[in-house]
């Protein structure tokens, strides 16, 4: 059952109960009034009859007086008057008002207990009146019940009309009042289908406004998160392409020529062996060996960059050293200062710290033209790891990450905060360096054995 129908039914129930109570009270009141009216009418009839009876013995026309008395009550709504003889035979009867009785159930509702009154008519010998006549006064409450019914029926029609119009108005008002909730429900359904542009106008009572404001804020947040996720997804794809291009360049520039040289040296080696020139053959063999060693180094650097397997195998410090080796191999002009204690950290903290260092190093290379980069891992408390990466060569104007369109710092922050840590970055004016500092909750599986401080 819809909320609207429930509200209407509830209102109808309350109204019907109140009306029933009112009807019972009014019925009781009407009954009391009818009883009082009937009592007064009977008393009046008795009095009138007594007046006539007093004059009856002296009257010359006692039969006519009696007839006049009875017919004076023709059309009376409360009392019917009758003259009966000794055998109970009615000789004269007044005509009642002639109104149709009310519906039986209503008659029972307002029925008043009233007994007939029998008055002996004084004998008037010689006046044509038979002896032993009696005057019977019978109360007729039906007429009053009928008029009460007429009034109640008219009132009932008015109430029904008002209830009908009121019901339609309440239906419309409840519909209008619930419309914002219906709209909210529809928008929630849209959000459930992934449409985060859904919004509702803020209108109505304060409680509803609060709900609508909360809904709009929620969809706004969801839309922003989805936008950011898309951007991060795009960035991942872009970074992958950049990395592939870099790997292709490295293979082409570093491995390609050396393989070519190794091929030449191998061919020459064969010729020199055939020509019996061992001294020159040995020199070419050594050159082949050097080239292979160089290529092994290149391949190791590349593997370390592609997948920091050493992170899980040898720990965070070793993985960061591989990273540094990768960059040092390309940027010989940069001095790296490392302070990396050999701590056996839990895997997820090590992963987050590694990614922070990776992005901070990339940023330093891309944005700062540094001469020195320092990377420090410290434990201010056993369960907290602080990662600091600072580089000099910062541009004069402090760049605004939010306007650069870059997502590296944003992704870094999300990673750190998802882990329960805090990230700070920016230009340290006093030290003229750019600093990235991540504080991460961690678990240490082994106490640092030695300080891995070194200078590259
Ligand atoms: N080490 C740094 N030295 C100087 N400026 C930096 C450094 N790191 C970041 N910045 C500034 O902060 C901005 C935002 O960096 P962020 O890593 O978020 O984006 P990006 O590097 O430009 O792009 P990407 O999304 O590829 O990382 C950079 O554009 C740069 O101006
Ligand atoms: Mg970046």
Q: What is the pLDDT of residue 405?
A: 64
Q: What is the pLDDT of residue 132?
A: 83
pLDDT along the chain (456 residues), means of 10: 82 87 83 86 90 81 85 88 88 82 80 83 73 87 81 88 89 86 89 86 86 92 90 86 80 82 89 91 90 86 70 83 86 94 88 92 89 95 94 68 68 89 91 93 66 46
Ligand 2 centroid to Cα of residue 119, in Å, is 120
Ligand 1 pocket, residues with Cβ under 6 angstroms: 235, 363-364, 366-368, 391, 394, 399, 401, 404, 406-410, 434
Cβ < 5 A residues, ion ligand 2: 363, 406, 408
**Calpha distance 80→290 (Å, rounded):** 142
Q: What is the pLDDT of residue 450?
A: 43
| Probe residue for ligand 1, chosen from 363, 401, 415 as the CB with the greatest number of ligand atoms within 8 Å | 363
Domain boundaries, the chain: 3-168, 314-456
For 314-456, CATH number out of 3.30.420.40, 3.90.950.10, 3.30.565.10, 3.40.50.970 equals 3.30.565.10
Ligand 2 centroid to Cα of residue 255, in Å, is 28
Among 72, 87, 92, 84, smallest CA distance to 121 is for 84
Q: Which two tokens stand for residue 362?
A: 């990339």
Residues facing 117 on adjacent strands: 137
Work out whether the CA dihedral 74, 80, 81, 82 comes out positive or negative.
Answer: positive
Q: Do the domains 3-168 and 314-456 sit in the same CATH topology, yes or no?
A: no
Helix (H) or strand (E) holding 183: helix 141-192
Q: What is the pLDDT of residue 126?
A: 65
For 3-168, CATH number out of 3.30.450, 3.30.70, 2.60.120, 3.30.1360 equals 3.30.450
* Local structure of residue 94 (DSSP, 8 states): -
Q: Which atom of ligand 1 is nearest to the CA of 239?
A: 26
| Probe residue for ligand 1, chosen from 358, 404, 405, 437 as the CB with the greatest number of ligand atoms within 8 Å | 404
Among 169, 166, 225, 168, smallest CA distance to 196 is for 225
Atom 5 in ligand 1: residue holding the nearest Cα? 367
Residue 212's Cβ-count burial label (10 Å; 0-12, 13-18, 19+) is buried
Atom 13 in ligand 1: residue holding the nearest Cα? 401
Atom 31 in ligand 1: residue holding the nearest Cα? 399
Q: 23 phi and psi, to 5 degrees?
A: -60, -40
Atom 6 in ligand 1: residue holding the nearest Cα? 367
Q: What is the pLDDT of residue 161?
A: 92
Q: What is the pLDDT of residue 456?
A: 47
């Amino acid at each position: 059952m819809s909320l609207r129908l429930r509200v209407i039914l509830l209102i109808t129930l309350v109204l019907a109960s109140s009306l029933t109570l009112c009807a019972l009270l009014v019925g009781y009141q009407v009954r009391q009034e009818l009883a009082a009216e009937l009592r007064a009418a009977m008393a009046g009839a008795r009095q009138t009859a007594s007046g006539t009876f007093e004059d009856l013995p002296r009257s010359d026309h006692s039969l006519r007086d009696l007839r006049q008395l009875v017919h004076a009550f023709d059309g009376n709504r409360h009392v019917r008057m009758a003259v009966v003889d000794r055998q109970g035979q009615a000789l004269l009867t007044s005509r009642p008002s002639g109104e149709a009785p009310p519906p039986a159930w209503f008659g029972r509702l307002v029925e008043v207990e009233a007994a007939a009154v029998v008055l002996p008519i004084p004998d008037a010998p010689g006046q044509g009146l038979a002896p032993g006549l009696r005057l019977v006064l019978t109360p007729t409450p039906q007429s009053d019940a009928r008029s009460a019914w007429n009034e109640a029926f008219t009132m009932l029609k008015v109430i029904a009309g008002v209830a009908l119009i009121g019901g339609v108005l309440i239906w419309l008002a409840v519909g209008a009042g619930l419309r914002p909730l219906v709209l909210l429900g529809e928008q929630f359904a849209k959000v459930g289908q992934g449409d985060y542009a859904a919004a509702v106008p803020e209108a109505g009572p304060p409680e509803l406004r609060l709900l609508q404001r909360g809904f709009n804020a929620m969809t706004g947040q969801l839309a922003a998160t989805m936008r950011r996720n898309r951007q991060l997804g795009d960035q991942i794809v872009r970074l992958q392409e950049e990395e592939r291009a870099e790997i292709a360049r490295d293979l082409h520039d570093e491995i390609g020529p050396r393989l070519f040289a190794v091929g030449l040296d191998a061919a020459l080696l064969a010729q020199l062996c055939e020509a019996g020139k061992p001294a020159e053959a040995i020199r070419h063999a050594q050159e082949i060996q050097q080239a292979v060693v160089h290529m092994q180094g290149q391949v190791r650097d590349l593997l370390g960059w592609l997948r920091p397997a050493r992170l899980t195998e040898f720990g965070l410090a070793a993985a960061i050293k591989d990273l540094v080796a990768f960059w040092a191999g390309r940027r010989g002009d940069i001095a790296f200062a490392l302070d990396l204690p050999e701590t056996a950290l839990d895997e997820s903290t090590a992963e987050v710290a590694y990614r922070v260092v990776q992005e901070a190093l990339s940023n330093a290379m891309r944005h700062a033209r540094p001469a020195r980069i320092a990377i420090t891992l410290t434990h201010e408390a056993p369960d907290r790891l602080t990662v600091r990466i600072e580089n000099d060569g910062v541009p004069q104007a402090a760049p605004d990450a939010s306007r650069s369109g870059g997502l590296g710092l944003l992704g870094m922050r999300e990673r750190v905060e998802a882990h329960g840590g805090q990230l700070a970055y920016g230009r340290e004016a006093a030290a003229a360096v750019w600093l990235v500092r991540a504080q991460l909750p961690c678990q240490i599986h082994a106490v640092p054995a030695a300080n891995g401080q070194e200078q590259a």
